Structure 1
């Protein structure tokens, strides 16, 4: 029977420990490559990062807690609508996997390994299209690809979101994420809804560090107005 390229079903999450074992029925060549990249790149310091510690400080504890998964997402010959349904389905998958509440839930992560994108920069399109729905669910959606131009939070000359394979990465929204969301009013509103009374704590923490962060004057102004309101 031929595969229905536009069929949508629940995608299979693969624990990173299994992906690190190499290619298998559940793990593609690209997934195995990204699993190794997560360990060698995200879990280690970088001289251009602008701070000490791992490139992604959440990744090492996430792997240690066994709450770090990878999933293959195939774009080949499929409609945009079908692919989007698959990606949005990961919101429910993320929330169903333990831990579902408490501080431990902030260490969950799903790395979507994208296949069949002729132009890696197409990641930007799907990221922009779907990010609002992830934010409404209290989740962050990050985009990685080979020439991603986004600078780091503490160094505007470092591009931390560059990966050998296009990725969409899902994790829980935390209080300090306002630093990444202050440039869009709808993103700020989603952040305020997600964090309620705790939102201003995160905003104040970012403002106290603003001299060390690569925030624009406009972003700082937005944050100050929220705190003052």
Structure 2
């Protein structure tokens, strides 16, 4: 595959490196690319007083920005339905392994975004994320939705809206150990998570897992193969 042009076969979507020089200074850069970069650098890559924990809002993004491992496809227009969004996500799922960097360890920091700058209704974005999440999780990937006014609660402060973004988008990246809270809602997600990370789960995540299992003891039976 020609790495200069990586194009989806279903939707024609063509992601570009968001922090490449030609996209940051070139005259052909997408109109909203600068706005997206600014949100990442000034919000995701900095601490926030309402976050509920020390550190950056999204440490993953800070590393990806520093290494220029972020890719984005901008899909203009308001006439974008669920079928079109699904085709775009399917394409980005297939293209993700071919986007540089392909080899470890850099590949773990790579992410690709489908950005819909003109959409003002976000129900289809939420619907596609729900429909597709399991397929991504079972491959060690995460699919997340962001858009203006997104009400998904923060992990450490339920009043903090971490997914509230200036532009509606869907993001694909590698799963990381701190994703446990996003995966604890379904048994199969948790099983894939444990298969990947059980030996290296951070202590604060292990504590959170213990607390949740104590609060919902039925989960123990669900995870015990002898009791299924």
Long gaps (5+) in structure 1: 1-6
Deviations 1:116-136 (A, max 9, x none): 433134321121122222223
Structure 1: distance between partners of 2:131 and 2:165: 21
Deviation of residue 173 (structure 1)? 0.7
SS in 2 for 1:21: helix
Aligned residue pairs, count: 218
Paired with 2:145 and 2:202, the residues of 1 have a C-alpha distance of 23
- 2:84 paired residue number: 82
**TM-score for the superposition, normalised by structure 1:** 0.78
The 5-angstrom pairing of residues 165-184 of structure 1 reads 165-184=167-186
Aligned to 2:139: 137
Equivalent in the alignment of 1:112 = 114
Q: How far 1:216 moved relative to its partner?
A: 9.7
* SS of structure 1 residue aligned to 2:136: helix
Q: Distance in 1 between matches of 2:103 and 2:220?
A: 27
Q: Is the 8 A contact 1:70 1:111 kept in 2?
A: yes
Q: CA deviation at 1:37?
A: 0.8
Report the TM-score, using the length of structure 2 for normalisation. 0.79
- Structure 1 residues 158-208: Cα deviation after superposition (integer angstroms, max 9, x where no partner): 111101111111110123322210112232244345x1xx43542875122
Cα gap change, 1:95/1:223 in structure 2, threshold over 3 Å: closer, same or farther?
Answer: farther
Distance 1:36 1:204, change over 3 A: closer
Structure 1 pair 60/78, CA: closer, same or farther in 2 (3 Å)? closer
